[in-house]
């Protein structure tokens, strides 16, 4: 198993609210097992190390299947790690089924589909009452109603929505209710797993603005998972780029989005259908398929698709290299490629490996 930890600079480690250390998650595929054989393992995460300081927002980006949602699930205790640890405010995350109101209070999930996240039979008041009493320590009908009204106001919905049911609301309104529900226990961290994926384009922008305002007003810490790079750029201070269960590049989003260094980041940004795209300057887009997570490539996992891979990349796990602008990149050719880019020339591609 390869582990390519990417660790942030020392300055942030002391104050990190979210600390992920050497996180490994392998899912056993029991269905594929022959009698007497160990099950094949899906390497969803292979040694992720990162931290998020209080009040910062980190986006995890990468192609489908790279392990983003697994990180989200581990952060909220929906699954347990194979090894490594996930801590919030110094406390190990416990399984969501554990009765531990203090732990539940620290971190809340906003998932992509509000229709499945909310009980359609309940009124909004009822939906908000549960976390208010369970995690928020609120009691008494009048007080619950008052706090629920405040939560609605916080997410830009009028108090008369308390008596509505999910079926009477639009997707954007429902997602606001899921955000209000997540805020009920006054969490430190919100894990936003594709929060705008199910929304119309016109509604996406208002939700992104709301999330941005809430973070500033409440001093929240966000871990954002998204395919939508312009949303990552808008909401996140830092970005971690994932490929096949590992982080290949991490740093301030302004730096990573405007001057990506890892060949995978460059290809990912060049392939993105967004105004963010900095075009062919950053590479020629992604070609080929993501290799199987059951048997990930040796050496650098991206070498099978990387136009710059050398023989060494097929056998050597790239160490995480801290760059002058504090970003961290795991590529054997980082310095060489960066120097060529700075000089304005196209980096040498591998052709006859
Ligand atoms: N319960 C599971 N059992 C087996 N494999 C799983 C399970 N959950 C996820 N995986 C596999 O783990 C890998 C990482 O999945 P994950 O959902 O975390 O990726 P992702 O980046 O969030 O993808 P997407 O953007 O499509 O949601 C994938 O290969 C996926 O098929």
Query: Which of 24, 26, 27, 226 to mutate to test ligand 1, by most ligand atoms within 8 A of the CB atom?
Result: 27
For ligand 1, the distance from its centroid to the CA atom of residue 43, given in whole angstroms, is 9
Cβ < 6 Å from ligand 1: which residues?
27, 42, 44, 62, 64-70, 293
Model pLDDT, residue 9: 40
What band does 99 get if pLDDT is binned at 50, 70 and 90? Answer: confident
User: How far is it, in rounded angstroms, from Cα 32 to Cα 22?
Assistant: 27
79 three-state secondary structure: coil
Highest mean pLDDT among 37-46, 220-229, 270-279: 220-229
- Give the pLDDT mean for 62-68: 93
213 three-state secondary structure: helix
Nearest-atom number in ligand 1 for the CA of 79 is 1
Model pLDDT, residue 276: 42
Nearest to 261, CA basis, from 350, 344, 330, 346: 330
pLDDT at 277 over 50: no
User: How far is it, in rounded angstroms, from Cα 148 to Cα 5?
Assistant: 42
pTM higher than 0.95, yes or no?
Answer: no
CA distances for 141 relative to 134, 144, 182, 268, angstroms? 14, 5, 20, 51
For ligand 1, the distance from its centroid to the CA atom of residue 65, given in whole angstroms, is 5
* Joined tokens for residue 48: 């992720």
Give the lowest-confidence range in 6-15, 269-278, 286-295.
6-15
DSSP state of 90: T
For ligand 1, the distance from its centroid to the CA atom of residue 242, given in whole angstroms, is 13
pLDDT at 328 over 80: yes
For ligand 1, the distance from its centroid to the CA atom of residue 227, given in whole angstroms, is 14
Cβ neighbors of 75 (< 8 A, separation 6 or more) are 18, 20, 86, 88, 93, 107, 109, 189, 191, 223
| pLDDT tens-digit map of 124-135 | 999 999 899 887
If you average pLDDT over every residue of the chain, what do you get?
87
Q: Is 91 within 8 Å of 258 (Cβ atoms)?
A: no
Q: Is 276 within 8 Å of 319 (Cβ atoms)?
A: no
Nearest CA to ligand 1 atom 11: 44
Q: What is the DSSP string of 230-289?
A: HHHHHH-SEEEEEETTEEEEEEEHHHHHHS--SHHHHHHHHH--STT--GGGG-S---SP
- Give the pLDDT mean for 208-223: 96
Cβ neighbours, 10 Å, residue 74: 24
Nearest CA to ligand 1 atom 7: 27
Phi/psi of residue 93, nearest 5 degrees: -65, 135
Nearest to 67, CA basis, from 251, 241, 244, 288: 244
**337: Cα separation from own chain's centroid:** 27
Nearest-atom number in ligand 1 for the CA of 67 is 18
Q: Is 297 within 8 Å of 303 (Cβ atoms)?
A: yes
Query: Which of 23, 67, 73, 264 to mutate to test ligand 1, by most ligand atoms within 8 A of the CB atom?
Result: 67
CA distances for 49 relative to 38, 106, 248, 274, angstroms? 28, 20, 11, 29
pLDDT at 12 over 60: no
Query: Which of 70, 76, 244 to mutate to test ligand 1, by most ligand atoms within 8 A of the CB atom?
Result: 70
For ligand 1, the distance from its centroid to the CA atom of residue 70, given in whole angstroms, is 6
For ligand 1, the distance from its centroid to the CA atom of residue 69, given in whole angstroms, is 7
pLDDT at 351 over 70: no
User: How far is it, in rounded angstroms, from Cα 239 to Cα 254?
Assistant: 9
Model pLDDT, residue 340: 75
Nearest CA to ligand 1 atom 10: 44
125 three-state secondary structure: helix
Model pLDDT, residue 28: 92
pLDDT at 158 over 60: yes
Q: What is the DSSP string of 130-184?
A: HHHHHTS---SHHHHHHHHHHHHHHTT--GGGGG--GGGS-HHHHHHHHHHHHHT
Model pLDDT, residue 117: 81
Give the lowest-confidence range in 8-17, 34-43, 122-131, 170-179.
8-17
For ligand 1, the distance from its centroid to the CA atom of residue 206, given in whole angstroms, is 29
Nearest-atom number in ligand 1 for the CA of 242 is 21
């Amino acid at each position: 198993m390869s582990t390519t930890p990417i660790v942030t600079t020392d300055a942030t480690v002391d104050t990190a609210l979210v600390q992920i250390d050497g996180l490994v998650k392998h899912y056993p595929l029991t269905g594929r097992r022959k009698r007497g054989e160990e099950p094949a393992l899906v390497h969803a995460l292979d040694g992720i190390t990162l931290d998020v300081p209080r009040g910062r927002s980190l986006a995890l980006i990468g192609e489908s299947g790279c392990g983003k949602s697994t990180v989200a699930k581990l952060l909220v205790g929906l699954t347990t790690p194979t090894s490594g640890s996930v801590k919030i405010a110094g406390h190990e995350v416990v399984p969501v089924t554990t009765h531990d109101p203090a732990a539940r209070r620290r971190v809340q999930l906003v998932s992509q589909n509000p229709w499945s996240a909310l009980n359609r039979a309940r009124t909004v008041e009822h939906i908000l009452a549960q976390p208010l009493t369970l995690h928020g320590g609120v009691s008494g009908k009048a007080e619950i109603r008052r706090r629920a009204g405040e939560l609605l106001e916080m997410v830009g919905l009028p108090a008369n929505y308390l008596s509505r049911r999910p079926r009477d609301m639009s997707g954007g309104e429902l997602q606001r209710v899921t955000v209000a529900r997540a805020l009920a226990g006054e969490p430190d961290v919100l894990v936003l797993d594709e929060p705008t994926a199910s929304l119309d384009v016109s509604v996406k922008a208002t939700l992104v603005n709301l999330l941005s305002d809430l973070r500033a007003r409440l001093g929240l810490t966000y871990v954002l998972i998204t395919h939508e790079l312009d949303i990552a750029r808008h909401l996140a201070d830092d970005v971690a780029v994932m490929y096949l269960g590992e982080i290949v590049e991490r740093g301030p989003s302004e730096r990573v989005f405007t001057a990506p260094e890892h060949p995978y980041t460059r290809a990912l940004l060049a392939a993105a259908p967004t105004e963010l795209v900095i075009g062919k300057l950053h590479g020629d887009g992604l070609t080929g398929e993501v290799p199987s997570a059951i048997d990930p490539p040796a050496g650098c996992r991206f070498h099978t698709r990387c136009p710059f891979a050398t023989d060494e990349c097929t056998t050597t796990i790239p160490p995480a290299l801290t760059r002058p602008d504090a970003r961290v990149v795991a590529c054997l050719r980082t310095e060489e490629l960066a120097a060529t880019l700075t000089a304005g020339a196209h980096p040498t591609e591998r052709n006859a490996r």
